[in-house]
Amino acid sequence: MRSLSQYLLSCFLLLLLLDWVFAGRDGLTIKLIHRDSIESPLYPGNLTMEQRIVRLNQQSKARLEQMALVAAMTRTAATPNQTIDPNGIIHAPVTLQGIFYLALVGIGTTKVEPYPYFESYYFLVDTGSSVTWTQCEGCNPCFYQKPPFFPYRKSTTFSESLCDSEGQCEFGTCEEGKCTYTLEYGSGAITEGGLGFEKFTFNSNDGGVEAFDQLRFGCGFKQSNFDFELADPMQNEIVGILGLGRGPTSLPNQLQFSDFSYCLRPWYNEGGVQEISTFLRMGNDARFQGGETIHTTPLAPHGSHYFVTMVGISFQGVRLPIEASAFARTPDGKGGCLLDTGSPWTVIQRKEYDIVRAAMQTYFRDFNVAQLPLDQGLFDLCYINPNQEEIPYPSMTFHFHQTDFEIDENQLFVNLEDGFCLAVGPHDHDYFSVLIGNHMQTNRRFIYNTEYNFLAFAREDCKLAS
């Protein structure tokens, strides 16, 4: 039975959610384009279901490798999203291969009719770092991009970030009276340049635009080792990175939005990966549609991620023999459960995963299916269904502190041409115990509140209003 304090906390959080709906705070909605979407300049072509799954497996493996890098870098991090060495170089704990969304953003103001005029560019969206930057006119060396480099000298709304009277910068390093930055990614890519302020323009829900002045960003003059995995690099339209991490220079923090939400569309519907773009909603735009039960659980921010307290797993309504301590976050930054939109699949530490796997094997022994012995990439448990019989999939629930996360069957399994696989795999890292990937998060709206540190979620058809 829930304690009085838990009941009062739930009431308080629900009042906050109602405040989001009725309060008059400003908001912002940014369309996030999945890198494999037909809308993306990185679109890989019309893939078959098997090709999509292979690609998603590759992306999941790359993401897990990135997480290992995150663990190594953020345990000694100087800020929530990055480490800074004595030379002022910012080390972002991400690789470009671990970035899965893009955004089309307008920068600057130029005296071109109709005035004011701005140019829109494709940015990779990086939730692991807090610096937004683009290649600027005059850069050398630069990676190739089809659009012209940002003409900051011609923008009437651009201003440089200058050092203070003591030769210091609030962010970055002071060089010849101006604030500069150096950003090094885990993949070895490096960008260097000057910090400045500029107007950024985003498309709004009603077909218009929303502009925000004096946002801090990096004007990149030296870029090296960038690879966007294009068959023809001369077709590249990516111009830089949009930083959505937890640091003070990130876009949400500069706009002073303490809450944000997303609702991920399934990639497996008709049209497949072409439909999986979504929207990041901030401030007053982050709200529930209504009609569904809202679940809340506390957040525990760490590094660039938000952890929730997981206390157990149930299979077919029966609690599995896994202690809550197996999912606990330790003081030295190990373990815990996190939700990650950058990873396609859900993974569980191998010891606890083996218990889930054994329960699944026991369940499917009662049906006319054969377990596949072959390696299916990230998938560790697959079955062939030779007669294409309709098989009832089992249920599974993740138990969070104060609420439950019930997993739908199409989030727990992936159907193949002649069988199916458990869409959960094992991992051997210690940075987290459980990572809930975007496939398991589909058709739910998640709202993160960073002021009171709680996560709220409810079921929603994300195709209607993601």
Confidence of residue 18 (pLDDT cuts 50, 70, 90): very low
Question: What are the domain boundaries of the chain?
Answer: 77-256, 292-465
Q: How confident is the model at residue 85 (pLDDT cuts 50, 70, 90)?
A: very low
Range of weakest confidence among 66-70, 149-153, 302-306, 346-350: 66-70
Pick from 217-231, 312-326, 412-426 the range whose average pLDDT is largest: 312-326
pLDDT of residue 466: 67
235-258 pLDDT, tens digit each: 899 999 998 877 788 888 898 888
The reported pLDDT for the residue numbered 269 is: 53
DSSP conformational letter for 40: S
> Rounded to an integer, what distance in angstroms lies between the CA atom of residue 234 and that of residue 463?
34
| 369, amino acid identity | V
pLDDT of residue 79: 44
Confidence of residue 3 (pLDDT cuts 50, 70, 90): low
To 5 degrees, how large is the angle CA 75–CA 76–CA 78? 120
Query: What pLDDT was estimated at residue 340?
Result: 85
Q: Work out the angle at residue 240's Cα, subtended by the Cα atoms of residues 285 and 439, and round it to the nearest 5 degrees.
A: 55
Residue 186: the pLDDT is 65
Q: State the DSSP H helix or E strand holding residue 9, giving kind and residue range, or none if neither.
A: helix 4-22
What does the pLDDT look like over 377-423, one tens digit per residue? 668 899 988 777 788 999 999 999 999 999 998 899 988 878 889 99
* Highest mean pLDDT out of 58-62, 109-113, 160-164, 284-288: 160-164
Query: 113 pLDDT exceeds 80?
Result: no
> Residue 11 corresponds to which tokens in the numbers above?
């009431």
Residue 246: predicted pLDDT: 75
User: Count of alpha carbons within 13 Å of 118, Cβ hemisphere only?
Assistant: 22
Instruction: Round the CA-based radius of gyration of the chain to a whole number and report it.
Output: 23
For 150-205, write each residue's pLDDT tens digit. Answer: 999 999 999 999 999 888 998 889 999 999 999 887 667 899 999 999 999 987 66
Q: 74, 246 in Cβ contact below 8 A?
A: no
Structure tokens at 363: 């369940």
Check residue 21 and give its pLDDT: 34
Cβ neighbours around 250 below 10 Å, total: 23
CA 40 to chain centre: 17
| Residue closest to 131 by CA, chosen among 252, 249, 239 | 249
**CATH number for the domain formed by residue range(s) 292-465:** 2.40.70.10
Closest CA relative to residue 90, chosen from 215, 220, 270: 220
CATH class of 77-256: mainly beta
Q: Determine which of 43-52, 89-98, 186-195, 443-452 has the lowest per-residue pLDDT on average.
A: 89-98
What is the average pLDDT score of the chain? 82
CB-side neighbour CA atoms (13 Å) of 106: 20
Asked whether the whole model's pTM tops 0.75, one would answer yes
Pure H helices in 37-191: 49-74
Q: What pLDDT score does 304 carry?
A: 66
Q: With the C-alpha atoms ordered 203, 204, 206, 208, is the resulting torsion angle positive or negative?
A: negative
Q: pLDDT band at 444, cuts 50/70/90? A: very high
The β-bridge relationship of strands 238-243 and 117-126 is parallel
First to last CA, the chain: 35
Instruction: Give pLDDT, residue 92.
Output: 45
